[in-house]
Chain A
């Protein structure tokens, strides 16, 4: 229990909430360079929050009438989300300045959305879960439409908002059914109720299906993925980077906790849904990406494919699955940070890079950059010795532990298909002859360079010292 009133401010979520307001005021009263300063402050705040999460022992939200919970799994994903958020703020700073989008609200929106994600990951109650989802989504809707004078940005914001609201509605309806049939909103109580009654309850099944649909929308699993490519394409690149990196982490943690805590005993019911979502996501992600010419749409489909693999680990529903999910999510975050750090610094004829074919000739003008992109692409395709391979490897270990042979074979087949479009990017950079050279410009700030080098270092050197991450993820309990 809380002994001291001051301790309350050391609860990471409360600290982050208060600091976000401070950031907002700070930006409001600053005359010059408001965007830059607020971003720096936001990064600082997030760093402090990581420290607080790391040292957070018992004085946490779990005490608040069990609206929230506390476990190593939750902490790991919180830290992952915070790290992703920090990285995406840093790498997008120059981009925003470059396109003259200097609203200081952007970092503040990121902060609020990150706060929502932390609450999402930790929520232990249907109501707090819903509120947390809405907090993060509302910030993201605004972020997607932040470039007000651009039609595509506004369109992507509206599209995201309408579909997001629809999915929230479905989610809420599911919650109401679950509440109606179990009489509780608390995850533990629901779990207790379900363990008492073995027989299938039709109302609960309906509730479960509705919630699954809502959550599948949040992680953008097929067939609820339609919004992802459009929103990715329409939003400014740096916002897309944030979308790709951070909210996925929180949504994955949430779907894991929702399936494995309250509905642990309904494995047979939800696993069929997840199984379908997983196979569909892997294959659609792999096949639809082949036809894309826009790099952001390609990355959208690639992220859909990655979600498919993470859902394989969820179907496994064992300790190995949790381990696999955390390793995969970590590698996913690192690879996306790296690729977006590069994309946000590449300019073609003074425009930021959008078409894949514009990468042509990059290997001549910028050998280091094209080598980095190739490494990231091979890692995403799951080719050893890079980190992406180990993410997939652990996923398949979990799946085979559960004897899901067919699913794992389908998984590796999808990975072969997806290798095609990752290779295509390498092909464009290295194999295609470019006639006009020197159009591509790579300008990167010192801070983004550090982020990029660190993430590349992790991608390449994970193989030399894997035990650090693996020991952490092996010790996670949901």
Chain B
């Protein structure tokens, strides 16, 4: 094993990069240095997080690479970080997507490059820190700190309605997460511990659990987002710059799912059992309703945003099935959605950079001029639909298999959503890519360049890799998920 604080280094390396950038004076010539510094810092973080994966002990269900320091003298709050099977891929997803975001903003961010890169590096630190925390208060601090850079990214570099979108994003998610703070304090008061590990084996009384569950639900349901708390998402996605949407869809939405697994399932099993029907209903409504809404969109980004809500509905179904297939499916779906939706937003970014519009009507027949683009877009589109061989299939398949154990109505709902997802994605693809070019402005649009290839090809490879070798990802997380399920069943058998 590694005897140096690997996790802390991964968490704080982007922040160190940010400190270095802070001292680079920004002008026309040096903005390229700022970009390179940001790219190197995030790439370094990614490489280090690969070590995390390579050295990961598959036979250990609990936390690895733990680091623990006493932080507050007066109560049991520790700087306690570590990685287990569930957080491993969330961290990898964050470290993988951030360098791509930096690359994606290489040319199209022209104002305030320094602040932009600072925000992204700070964002990466808090994202990784959040997934790696084993202390709830530490988790909470990172969870809320995410709002600061995201607020700036949407508000400064966003589209026309960016101010409305940034405020909505900030206040909506803040409203959810402050209730979580109260829940955390109540947990601490009952157990005198803030350790996620300890709290997962220590159950609260039934009534306390119900209230705690609702408080956590408020924050995670907004974050993931579940219907009817999803209204901030389309606004935030549409107004955010491309890289902002990528991180938002790729990582920030997963914070909700991650929280559900860790907190709701892990710590409040009896309350979870009580609320499962509610979650299932909301998820099915989300899947069907948002799929239909997505079908009616005229803005590409908005369509993908609504499809995210639908995909996250599959994730919540998977999580709250609380069986092996369901949870594994939910995790796979989260990873897959992280890659696919991020890639789709990047694809939209590619044509947006060229034409500065996201209206579906504007495009058509892009395959004539951009064959390479049409190919990669197709891979991601099929990944989103869940075609066998792509990552999306594994997640959806496992969730549906798991759902059969629970109720066939849920299966019908989920399957209906998957069909609808094929409808709106294929319809979108047809309108943008196929046909002949009717719009004269598209006549000399250029195919993707080298930078865009560097961004999109790794994503395409990983989407296919995930679809063909799912065990590469399922094996490390299996035992950690099993532990949660066993705890859950023991608690509910009592």
Contact = CB atoms under 8 A, between A and B. Distances in A.
Contact of A393 (B115, B166, B167, B181): B181
A466 B185 contact: no
Interface residues of A, number: 33
A30 interface: no
Interface string A460-478: 0001001100110010000
Given A431-B155, A471-B74, A383 B175 contact: no
Interface string B167-192: 10011001100110110011011000
B155 A413 contact: no
B72 A470 contact: yes
Chain A residues touching B, majority SS: helix
Interface stretch (B144-152, B316-324, B328-336, B374-382): B144-152
A194 B72 CA distance: 38
B73 A400 contact: no
A367 B152 CA distance: 14
Contact of A400 (B71, B178, B185): B185
A431 B156 contact: yes
A229 to B, nearest CB: 24
Given A413-B175, A416-B175, A420-B171, A431 B182 contact: no
A367 B141 CA distance: 26
B163 interface: yes
7 contacts: A367-B115, A393-B137, A396-B182, A397-B189, A427-B163, A470-B72, A470-B73
Contacts of B141: 384-385, 389, 463
B167 A423 contact: yes
A420 B72 CA distance: 30
A162 interface: no
B181 A396 contact: yes
Interface in A130-153: none
B144 A383 contact: yes
Given A467-B71, A471-B73, 15 more contacts: A363-B115, A384-B140, A384-B144, A393-B181, A397-B185, A400-B185, A409-B182, A419-B170, A423-B167, A426-B155, A430-B156, A431-B155, A431-B156, A467-B72, A470-B74
Contacts of A415: 178
Given A383-B147, A427-B155, A400 B181 contact: no
Nearest to B163: A431
A416 B174 contact: yes
A39 interface: no
Contacts of A401: 189
Interface of A: 323, 363, 367, 378, 383-385, 389, 393, 396-397, 400-401, 405, 408-409, 412-413, 415-416, 419-420, 423, 426-427, 430-431, 463, 466-467, 470-471, 474
Nearest to A420: B171
A409 B212 CA distance: 12
B198 to A, nearest CB: 18
Contacts of B170: 419, 423
Contacts of A363: 112, 115
A466 B75 CA distance: 12
B179 A396 contact: no
B491 to A, nearest CB: 24
Nearest to A401: B189
A10 B366 CA distance: 86
Given A412-B179, A413-B178, A470-B72, A419 B144 contact: no
Contacts of A430: 152, 155-156
Interface of B: 71-75, 112, 115, 137, 140-142, 144-145, 147-148, 151-152, 155-156, 162-163, 166-167, 170-171, 174-175, 178-179, 181-182, 185-186, 188-189
B477 to A, nearest CB: 29
Given A384-B141, A409-B179, A470-B73, A400 B189 contact: yes
A263 B75 CA distance: 30
Given A383-B148, A400-B189, A467 B73 contact: yes
Nearest to A463: B141
A230 to B, nearest CB: 29
Those 8 A-B pairs whose CB atoms lie nearest each other, nearest first: A412-B178, A384-B141, A467-B73, A431-B155, A400-B185, A416-B175, A474-B74, A384-B144
Nearest to B172: A416
B185 A431 contact: no
A389 B184 CA distance: 14
Contacts of B73: 467, 470-471, 474
Contacts of A474: 73-74
A383 B122 CA distance: 15
Contact of B151 (A323, A384, A423, A463): A423
A243 B335 CA distance: 54
Nearest to A431: B155
Contact of B171 (A378, A396, A416): A416
A385 B71 CA distance: 14
Contacts of A470: 72-74
Given A384-B145, A467-B72, A419 B174 contact: yes
A363 B147 CA distance: 19
Given A384-B144, A396-B182, A409-B182, A419 B155 contact: no
A405 B127 CA distance: 30
A471 B189 CA distance: 19
Contacts of B166: 427, 431
A469 to B, nearest CB: 10
Contacts of B163: 427, 431
